[in-house]
Amino acid sequence: MSEAALAAGIAPDRVLLPESVEEVQAVVLEAGEAGTRLLPAGRGTWLGAGGWGVDPGRGDPDGEGQPGGGGEPGSDGRQGGGTDSPRIAGTERLDAVHHYEPADLTLTAGAGIGLDHLARVLEPNGQWLPFDGPACDTGTLGAAVASGVSGPLSSRYGATRDNVLGLEVVTGDGRILRIGGRVVKNVAGYDLVRLFTGSRGSLGVITRVSVRLFPRPESDVTLLFGGDAAGAVAAARRVCTHEVPVAAVEVIEGDEGGVGRAAAVAVRLLGGVDEVDESRARIVAAAGAEPSAALEGGESRAFHGRRIGWEAGAAVVARLAALPDRLAETLECARAVAALAGGATSADALQGVVRVKGSCPGGDLAALAEGLLRGRREMAAAGGTLTLSQAPAEVAARVGWTGGGGEEGGLTSRIKALFDPDSTLAPSCP
Amino acid sequence: MSAATDTLALALKEQEEGLLNCVHCGFCLPACPTYRRLGDEADSPRGRLHLMRAVVEGRLSADSDAFQLHISRCLGCRACEPVCPSGVAYGQLLELARQVGGEARRPPLLNRLLLRVFGTGWIARPAMFAARMLRATGLPALAARLLSGDSTPKGARLGVAMLAASGSPGALPAAADPEHPGSDPAPGGDHPAGNGTPSDSTPPAPPTAALASPTPPTTVGLLTGCVQAGLFSRVNEATARVLEANGYEVVPVPGQGCCGALHAHAGDLEAARAMARRNVEAFEAAGVDLLAMNASGCGAAMAEYGTLLAHDDRMAERAAALAARVRDVSELLAARGPLPGAEVPMEVTWDAPCHLLHAQGVASPPTTVLAAVPGLRMLPLAGAQECCGGAGIYGLTHPRLGGWIGADKVRSVLDSGAAALVTGNPGCMMQIGAGLRLRGSSVPVLHLVEVLDESYRRAGRYQPEVP
Amino acid sequence: MIPKALAVSLTGICGSDGVIADRDRLLVYESDALTAYRHRPGAVVLPRTTDEVRRAVQAITRHGLPIVPRGAGTGLSGGAVPLGGAVVIGTARMNRILSIDAANRRAVLQPGVINAELSAAAAPHGLYYAPDPSSQTACTIGGNVAENSGGPHCLKYGVTSRYVTGLTVVLADGSVVRLGGQGREAPGYDLVGLFVGSEGCFGIATEVEVGLLPVPEGVRTLLGIFDRIEDAGRAVSDIVSAGLLPAAMEIIDGPTIRAVEDSVFAAGYPTDAEAALVIEFDGLEAGLDAEAARAAEFCRRAGAREVRSAKDEEERLALWKGRKKAFGAMGRIAPDLLVQDATVPRTTLPAILKGISEIGKRYGLVVANVFHAGDGNLHPNILFDRRDEAELERVERASKEIMQICVDSGGTITGEHGVGLDKKHHMPLIYGQAELDTMWGIRRVFDPGDVLNPGKVLPEETDPAARAGWGDGAVGEDLAAAPAPAPA
């Protein structure tokens, strides 16, 4: 954990690994009393994705909890007191499965359970949790919920937030809350579960999670169509609007497509054997060409596993999103960033999301920052967004993680103040 | 509480005891033309039932502006009835509510005058005669043309246009092959089994299969009505011809009069009952098997004579028995096939009269009848199930709202691209026809039987040939 | 009644036909579809645009009056009942679909659009709107957003919140904020998700952006007839655990079957059966038959005496008919009906159903169940006659017991109808004080002055001084004045 923190540019004051919700509560209260920031974490995968590691010595100019996610990283609404080095609360020891009734297709587990471990628990019953967002291979369940970032399967299975049924959290001011439940349909009270999903450790430490599970599909096939960049986007769009529903459509540029062409369109088909066979025939007919490759079963899963782990180790990761029919423009914008970052793009065509990663090999970080800001302006002009998931301190400081809040009329800061009045936890988002 | 209020209370209670009570689910709201336009719960069926219940519970005065306004604003189209999962008999409750409202506060003069015209033979006949004479001068048509362009017709303007619209639609398009005007182009496969084989030169053979009853009734009495008789005599004549052509014997029913529908809808239930008694006696005396209706408003009213006279010891049973024999002309024709006619090459669209579709639940027979006309192409009509705003005298008593609803109907008729609108009720024909004229459109409005009649004439089914 | 000055300013905003301030005319707004609660509003306004809503909110709050948003009034928890002389803002005139963006499978609409009409408008593009509450022919999207509505097909497709991607909202202070929009990747807290299901307490949604789905190519519908309702419950559990994912699984119990069959909406279910299970699969044609065959086999193994399958659309509608008409048909068994809406873990269904039937017997009440079995979302309907006061008391006790066994099994007090006025006193069954206090806090983030839909969702805070004024019937016509006492 300490290594993960250091890798993310955080020099933690201490790393705490509580073993129960009460211990989490104690850790939170202690940090509050000490006036020390406490960063919730799972296994530390996302520690570089909040901006708090950046420029830890800096004071706080705005006091509104505004940036971090939003404006300038490091200036997160926290005033003096104690050390500037944060503490880290890792939940990895909260990894028990509390309740799993396969016939209910629901599970309740500690937030620190690894998603890899969870997959092994579900496998014997032919079930899975179709979380395929970034780092959902090695990260923890709690972190997947806290990050709230969904992957390409979300149009088939719903986004992360659609599959979280209930949470136990310790708020920034040390209250233990049990919200939602473990039934699949529940409208009792306000939907705090959705508020915490994607709150990136800014409202509370998630200690326990109830999720909705799905039967693992009988057949899993990925068709890879190679082509030039423009052709790939057009083909991807055709599949997206085709009458045959598909589980995911990705456009992968460069070698990672594995088809020896400039770009590859990966179309994932999930379902019963007959259904997938039929979908495959019709998608191929619509594409007008045989796929360069067809991956089945374990091969298909492994391919998508690599997509999930795609961002690992990258120095900079950005996420560009606009409406799906603007995919070509979004991708173009992403390519410009990728060129500066010395990296590659990966597009989720169904959602209209393009990820960029780069290693910044001794590059010009100032130019990269300018490129990201330009990209953000272009995306905004098209009604879209550019957010950073990972960035060198210097870049993050210049660009900001999200580009600031929208027109939420102060709701965000009021919500932050309700759960974490002293800004003990991660900065609010955006 | 007045006697009328007691009656409403009784009817509400009867419906509740019969477990036909409104559960307040709101499924009727989107079906209601006034709610859709005004968005006020009180202008919805559920809201009006709520007001009725409040009057009965003593929480609201029948004389209140709220009750008067919202009960009178109802079109009475009864589109709410088929969508009601609890089966509330809304139409009946509305009539009672109007009676209660009418006793509490005298209806406006215009309403009373109009009802007086329809309900009183010695006034109606000369009035209709005068109207026909006026129509014959062509002045209303001219006036309607001059007044066109305003999509929300009001009052007198509408009246003039309605009168013009009641006129004969003129010649329908001729068949593509004028050399064989009498040929029967219907493909054999369309010919319903059991009917006599039509022939060009001989009168149609009597039908061999008819309504479900083992001894098929063959004599029918036609309700000639007040508006039909007055302004749509051509429709009555066509009705008789097409029924005869399909093997019914149309016998005269002397002594019949206005059905009383308009009076019942307006809450003048005593007047309606008097008319109902007279008609029960007249049709009984004629000894007909079935009653033929070519005005769905009248048909719906006569089909409910049993309910209307339920508390009349002398007449209740007789009224119910008679009501059970009421049929729309489209039902009678569909039951016999009907026999196909000759080609009328034309694109038409069908607008279902509310009192046919919603009040009587007659949905498919009109399309079956139109399918018997070769060359006729049916185009879909958006909102065909919605009221045209005519609703008896509604177009005249609520010109603004009725005009709004009517304008929407006219727009969808024009949007359908049809060369003619076909419907089954004189009120609808006049309302939509007036709307079309005021919009400067020449799309004619035809009664269902007029189309079939023309097709039969071309097929030479009438011997001797009808001029 | 509202002050004359307010009536004048509202008229200036919404026009004279857009303001109802006459006391008698307001009578019809005293209830939604749950008629046990009756409170007459101070006025009703019917705006057409976001700006009219904004100005109306400002005008009303200036006079210190609370506001209750209302869609079509089809809610079953009393959520649209105006307490404390509130002014109702009705969305009936905000019924325009602003755009259908087929390329991105989304639509932007005003809140008064009727759920089923959105699907009808999307149909020419081969698209539809997935959440299908049973009232979908009448209920509005705005109401669906407020209640986070479900429906039979939510088993496979999820509830309203999965499909709402953006909102324009007027807050209690009259400010207009945009939440989310242009798809679902907006950074920051999921304020759209938080707003959906807030039951009119957070703001008034004046524009809604939703996702649409392609209309499934094929559908297979089965009807299993069972002699014991527990067996039907077991069939549901078996089908789910076998990895089949039907679009819908609905159970209609014996008393409901008999009510439907007695009505003019008879669906042809055998009247001596104790449960009918409707199962539907949809998707690509290929494979549907095999899935349906497997589900049919599970039904037979669980003890179904008969399994029917629909051969065409007409037969499909016939199989569904008993389910769809059930609510109205209840009105034919008894004059009054208490609808409950608990969700339980699917595997506990057989035990819960048995428990409910025992509670019914013990209190001598008919409990008719018709529910979304695949989701474990129960709708036990207690039938009664409110004129019988002794029976009414038994109804209340039975109702509470049923709720308790559902909660004890790991369930919740409402799966789709919302808490509203009816279930707010049940909230402590599932939430502790810390959670309830937090919900109060979130509510005040949006509405610090307690202007929007006061008296709903959350039980009054422990400090009565903080909550004075908005109790049940604190102002306005109380239940006591109405002929029907509240079954809450």
DSSP A264-284: EEEEEEEE-HHHHHHHHHHHH
Q: Please name the member of A106, A187, A429 whose beta carbon is closest to the beta carbon of C189.
A: A429
Q: Encode pLDDT of C187-219 as tens digits.
A: 789 999 999 999 999 999 999 999 999 999 999
* Dist CA C292 CA C278 (whole Å): 11
Q: Encode pLDDT of A144-201 as tens digits.
A: 999 988 999 998 999 999 999 999 999 999 999 999 999 988 999 999 999 999 998 9
Q: State the pLDDT at residue C459.
A: 93
Mean pLDDT of B227-252: 84
Q: Give the residue from C10, C23, C21, C20 showing the smallest Cα distance to C477.
A: C23
Number of A to C CB contacts under 8 A, please give it: 251
Are residues C303 and C400 both part of a single domain? yes
Q: Please name the member of C114, C328, C334 whose beta carbon is closest to the beta carbon of B30.
A: C114
Strand, coil or helix: A330: helix
Mean pLDDT of chain B: 79
Mean pLDDT of C96-112: 96
- Contact between chains at C457 and A184 (C-beta distance less than 8 A): no
- Contact between chains at C245 and A215 (C-beta distance less than 8 A): yes
Q: Encode pLDDT of C77-100 as tens digits.
A: 999 999 999 999 999 999 999 999
DSSP B103-119: HHSPPPHHHHHHHHHHH
Residue C196, in any domain of the structure: yes
Last residue of a domain, one of C408, C443, C462: C408
Judging by DSSP bridges, how do beta strands C67-70 and C87-90 pair with one another? parallel
* Dist CA A415 CA C445 (whole Å): 7
Are residues C205 and C227 both part of a single domain? no
Domains of chain A, CATH where assigned = 2-91 (no CATH), 97-215 (3.30.465.10), 219-308 (3.30.70.2190), 316-399 (3.30.70)
A260: closest CA of chain C, how far (Å): 30
Are residues C345 and C365 both part of a single domain? yes
Residues of C with Cβ-Cβ distance to A321 under 8 angstroms = 183, 185
Q: What is the largest CA-CA distance in chain C?
A: 70
Query: Domain of C374?
Result: 218-408
Q: Encode pLDDT of C1-17 as tens digits.
A: 899 999 999 999 999 99
* Dist CA A171 CA A25 (whole Å): 8
> In this structure, is the dihedral angle defined by the CA atoms of residues B432, B434, B438 and B441, taken in order, positive or negative?
positive
Residues of C with Cβ-Cβ distance to A334 under 8 angstroms = none
Most confidently modeled range among A400-409, B21-30, B134-143, C80-89: C80-89
DSSP symbol at B395 = H
Q: Give the residue from C336, C327, C330, C340 showing the smallest Cα distance to C423.
A: C340
Both structure tokens of B61 = 């005065």
Over the Cα atoms of chain B, what is R_g? Answer: 22
Q: State the pLDDT at residue A256.
A: 79
Q: How many residues are given for chain B?
A: 467
Residue C99, in any domain of the structure: no
Percent of chain A with pLDDT over 90: 65
What is the topology classification, in CATH, of domain B165-170+339-459? Rossmann fold (3.40.50)
Are residues C397 and C297 both part of a single domain? yes
Q: State the pLDDT at residue B114.
A: 65
pLDDT for residue A7 is more than 80: no
What is the topology classification, in CATH, of domain B3-104? Fumarate Reductase Iron-sulfur Protein; Chain B, domain 2 (1.10.1060)
Residue C191, in any domain of the structure: yes
Are residues C206 and C239 both part of a single domain? no
CA-nearest residue to C183 within chain A is A323
Q: State the pLDDT at residue B71.
A: 92
A246: closest CA of chain C, how far (Å): 11
- Say yes or no: A67 contacts chain C, CB-CB below 8 A: no
* Dist CA B391 CA B400 (whole Å): 13
CA-nearest residue to A273 within chain C is C287
- Say yes or no: C120 contacts chain B, CB-CB below 8 A: no
Q: Give the residue from B89, B95, B39 showing the smallest Cα distance to B72.
A: B95
* Dist CA C383 CA B88 (whole Å): 19
Task: For Cα atoms C47, C51, C57, give the angle at the middle one, nearest 5 degrees.
Answer: 70
pTM, 2 dp: 0.88
* Dist CA C485 CA C336 (whole Å): 11
Residues of A with Cβ-Cβ distance to C236 under 8 angstroms = none
Residue A407: which pLDDT band, with cuts at 50, 70 and 90? low
Q: How many CA atoms lie within 13 A of A101 on its CB side?
A: 15
Those of residues 358-387 in A touching chain C at CB distance below 8 A are 383-385, 387
Which of the residues A155, A182, A183 would you substitute to probe the C interface, choosing the one with the greatest number of C C-beta atoms within 10 Å?
A183
Is the Cβ–Cβ distance between B7 and B99 less than 8 Å? yes
The secondary element (H helix, E strand) that includes residue A165 is strand A164-171
Is the Cβ–Cβ distance between C35 and C29 less than 8 Å? no
* Cα–Cα separations (whole angstroms), residue A224 to A251, A303, C228, C337: 10, 11, 50, 57
Q: Encode pLDDT of B163-177 as tens digits.
A: 767 777 777 777 655
pLDDT for residue B244 is more than 70: yes
pLDDT for residue B211 is more than 60: no
* Dist CA B310 CA B323 (whole Å): 12
> Which has the higher per-residue pLDDT, B146 or B188?
B146
Q: Tell me which chains share at least 3 CB pairs under 8 Å with chain A.
A: C
Lowest model confidence (mean pLDDT) among A189-193, B138-142, B188-192:
B188-192
CATH 1.10.1060.10 residue spans of chain B: 3-104
Q: State the pLDDT at residue B212.
A: 43
Mean pLDDT of B117-128: 61
Are residues C298 and C375 both part of a single domain? yes
Residue C39, in any domain of the structure: yes
* Dist CA A156 CA A350 (whole Å): 10
* Dist CA A47 CA A39 (whole Å): 8
Residue C417, in any domain of the structure: no
ipTM of the complex in this document: 0.92
Are residues C339 and C236 both part of a single domain? yes
Percent of chain B with pLDDT over 90: 22
Q: Encode pLDDT of A375-396 as tens digits.
A: 999 999 988 999 988 888 788 8
pLDDT for residue B208 is more than 90: no
Both structure tokens of B379 = 């185009």
Is the Cβ–Cβ distance between C153 and C161 less than 8 Å? no
Residue A71: which pLDDT band, with cuts at 50, 70 and 90? very low
**Residue B168 — left, alpha, or beta (φ > 0 → left; ψ -120 to 50 → alpha)?**
beta
Q: State the pLDDT at residue B16.
A: 65
Residues of B with Cβ-Cβ distance to C24 under 8 angstroms = 60-61, 64-67
Q: Where are the beta strands (DSSP E) in C40-105?
A: 43-45, 67-70, 87-90, 97-101
Residue A30: which pLDDT band, with cuts at 50, 70 and 90? very high
Residue entry with tokens 């907006």: C186
pLDDT for residue C181 is more than 90: no
B88: closest CA of chain C, how far (Å): 10
Q: State the pLDDT at residue A265.
A: 94
Amino acid sitting at position C247: A
Q: Which residues are CB-neighbours of B147 under 8 A, at least 6 positions away?
A: B153, B157, B160, B161, B438
* Dist CA C29 CA C39 (whole Å): 8
Those of residues 34-63 in B touching chain C at CB distance below 8 A are 35, 38-42, 44, 46-47, 50-51, 54, 57, 59-61
CATH assignment at residue C37: 3.30.43.10
Amino acid sitting at position C428: P
Are residues C151 and C224 both part of a single domain? no
Residue C392, in any domain of the structure: yes
Strand, coil or helix: A263: strand
Is the Cβ–Cβ distance between C59 and C451 less than 8 Å? no
DSSP symbol at B456 = H
CA-nearest residue to C321 within chain B is B85
Percent of chain B with pLDDT over 70: 75
Are residues C244 and C375 both part of a single domain? yes
Residue C204, in any domain of the structure: yes
* Cα–Cα separations (whole angstroms), residue B337 to A143, B140, B254, B357, B429: 71, 39, 29, 20, 25
Both structure tokens of A339 = 């060129």
Q: State the pLDDT at residue B194.
A: 37
Q: Which residues are CB-neighbours of C15 under 8 A, at least 6 positions away?
A: none
Lowest model confidence (mean pLDDT) among B435-439, C119-123, C230-234, C408-412:
B435-439
Percent of chain C with pLDDT over 70: 93
> Which has the higher per-residue pLDDT, A76 or C370?
C370
Mean pLDDT of B243-255: 89
Mean pLDDT of C452-475: 61
Residue B134: which pLDDT band, with cuts at 50, 70 and 90? low
Mean pLDDT of C119-129: 96
* Dist CA C182 CA A383 (whole Å): 7
Residue C230, in any domain of the structure: yes
* Dist CA B136 CA C371 (whole Å): 64
Judging by DSSP bridges, how do beta strands B420-423 and B445-447 pair with one another? parallel
Residues of C with Cβ-Cβ distance to A188 under 8 angstroms = 412-414, 419, 423, 427, 430-431
Q: For residue A298, with 0-12 CB atoms within 10 Å meaning exposed, 13-18 middle and 19 or more buried, which class applies?
A: exposed
pLDDT for residue A67 is more than 90: no
User: In this structure, what are the phi and psi dihedrals at residue A261, rounded to the nearest 5 degrees?
Assistant: -120, 175
> Which has the higher per-residue pLDDT, C328 or C155?
C155
CATH assignment at residue C178: 3.30.465.10
Q: What is the dihedral of CA B193, B195, B199, B202, to 10 degrees?
A: 170
Are residues C319 and C389 both part of a single domain? yes
Strand, coil or helix: C13: helix
Both structure tokens of C418 = 């919302």
> Which has the higher per-residue pLDDT, A324 or C488?
A324
pLDDT for residue C75 is more than 60: yes
Q: What is the number of domains present in chain C? A: 4
Are residues C269 and C369 both part of a single domain? yes
CATH 3.40.50.10700 residue spans of chain B: 165-170+339-459
Those of residues 231-260 in A touching chain C at CB distance below 8 A are 241, 243-245
| Preceding amide of B33 cis, omega within 30 | no
C225: closest CA of chain B, how far (Å): 23
Is the Cβ–Cβ distance between B389 and B79 less than 8 Å? no
Are residues C370 and C440 both part of a single domain? no
Is the Cβ–Cβ distance between C312 and C257 less than 8 Å? no
| Residue burial B101-129, b: 16+ Cβ < 10 Å; e: rest | bbebeebeeebeebbebbbeeeebeebbe
CATH assignment at residue C281: 3.40.462.10
